[in-house]
Structure 1
Amino acid sequence: MTMPPVLRGARAATTFLTRVPVGGFPYAQADWRWASAWFPFVGAILGAVQAAAWLLVDRGGALVAASVTVALGLLLTGAFHEDGLADTADALGGAFDRARMFEILKDSRIGSFGAAALIVVLVLRIALLARLDAAAPVALVLTQCLSRTPPIWLMVALPYVTQGGSRSRPVAQAALPQALLGSAWPALALAAAH
């Protein structure tokens, strides 16, 4: 018995957002389309793993726990979001026209704007997590889940930025059903937190 695309989307989302080997290849277009609906769920799982790490190392102090937790997040995701941040910062800081921006976005090298953005964001992430101290584990689960919901709605509302082929294009073909399912995960996470 084969799983329907809505369920295979969970594995596709895990493959897309993390380095966790979940198998399931090859994924069909429909599986990738449903992946976005599972982004918040995968985020909650990542947050739970990070929260567990926090609880294991918090005897070393909040700064140590925050540093280990952020490093674990980078390891689990392959610094996926940080790579996107660096590319975006380089493109916005180093280009004055649309064509050059897309050229910079496709360049695998990191520029000075990207490096600066990464340093600022990682330092802030560690400092703010350390400041949360005992509330950090719950905050990790909620923020990892909640932060992955707005992009689904953006994928529904906005056209894909380029017309050419892209490996992530099938994931960006979310529609209302994916956005509604994706929005249910944060609602469940918030209900569980109370």
Structure 2
Amino acid sequence: MTLPPVLRGARAATTFLTRVPVGGFPYAEADWRWASAWFPFVGAGLGAVQAAAWLLVDRGGALVAASVVVALGLLLTGAFHEDGLADTADALGGAFDRARLFEILKDSRIGAFGAAALIVVLVLRIALLARLDAAAPVALVLTQCLSRVPPIWLMVALPYVTQGGSRSRPVAQAALPQALLGSVWPALSLAVAHAAGAVSAAEAAAML
């Protein structure tokens, strides 16, 4: 039985955002187009794995647990977001025109701005997670899910930045159906968290 593109998009999203082997190749362009709708779902899954890891190692202290969880996140995603952060920091810090900016973005090497941004963000991530302490597991699931919704709406609202060919272009061709489906997952996550007593109704409403 062949799955429709909207469901195959879940596997495409997992392949795009993580290093978790899920098979399903080759993906059609329609599958990649639906991938963005599943970004928050995949994020919640990543957060759940990290939350479980936190609960396993938190006896070593919040700082140890935070460090392990951040390292696990890098392993699961292949440092996907951190790579983008470093590229963006290098481009914004070292480019003075549009052509140079895209040249730096495509360069696989890391520069001073990228390295500095990575250090600051990773240290802050560990410190803030450690400060959350017992609330960290729930925060990991919710933030990993909620933070992946705005990019979908940005892809709907804004044109693709370049006209040339790109492997990620089909993923960025999101439309209203993808954005609406993508917005369902945070609502479900918050509903589950509220039912479990992890967040209050007011907190859930504020996050939405």
After TM superposition, the score normalised by the length of structure 2 is: 0.93
Deviation at 1:5, TM superposition (A): 0.2
Question: Matched residues in 2 for 1:19 and 1:184: separation?
Answer: 24
Deviation string, structure 1 residues 19-38 (Cα, Å, up to 9, x no partner): 00000000001000000000
What secondary structure sits across from 2:170 in the alignment?
Answer: coil
Q: In the alignment, what sits opposite 2:113?
A: 113
Query: Are 1:23 and 2:23 counterparts?
Result: yes
Matches of 2:4 and 2:95 in 1, distance apart? 43
Question: Displacement, 1:46?
Answer: 0.1
- Give the unaligned 5+ runs of structure 2: 195-208
| Displacement of 1:109 | 0.1
Aligned counterparts of 2:128 and 2:4: Cα–Cα separation in 1: 40
Measure the CA separation in 2 of the matches of 1:21 and 1:12.
Answer: 11
In structure 2, C-alpha distance between the alignment counterparts of 1:176 and 1:81, rounded to whole Å: 24
RMSD: 0.3
Q: Deviations over 1:96-116 (max 9, x none)?
A: 100000000000000000000
Q: Distance in 1 between matches of 2:3 and 2:22?
A: 15
Q: Distance in 1 between matches of 2:70 and 2:16?
A: 19
Partners of 2:31 and 2:179 in 1: how far apart?
15
For the residues of structure 2 that align with 1:173 and 1:190, how far apart are their CA atoms?
27
Q: CA deviation at 1:122?
A: 0.1
Partner SS for 1:170: helix
Deviation, 1:169, is 0.4
Q: Structure 1, residues 112-160: CA drift from partner, whole Å, max 9, x if none?
A: 0000000000000000000000000000000000000000000000000
Tell me the distance in 2 between the aligned counterparts of 1:177 and 1:171: 14
Q: What is the aligned partner in structure 2 of residue 168 from structure 1?
A: 168
- How far the C-alpha of 1:86 sits from its partner, in A, is 0.2
What is the CA–CA distance in structure 2 between the aligned matches of 1:36 and 1:189, rounded to whole Å?
17
Q: How far apart, in 2, do the equivalents of 1:76 and 1:165 lie?
A: 28
5+ residue gaps, structure 1:
none
Question: Displacement, 1:172?
Answer: 0.2
Deviation string 1:40-88 (CA, Å, 9 cap, x unpaired) is 0000000000000000000000000000000000000000000000000
TM-score (norm 1): 1.00
Q: Tell me the distance in 1 between the aligned counterparts of 2:16 and 2:123.
A: 26
CA distance in 1, matches of 2:114, 2:17: 20
Inter-partner Cα distance in structure 2 for 1:13 and 1:27: 11
Runs of 4+ in 1 over 4 A off after TM superposition: none
CA distance in 2, matches of 1:168, 1:21: 19
SS in 2 for 1:165: coil
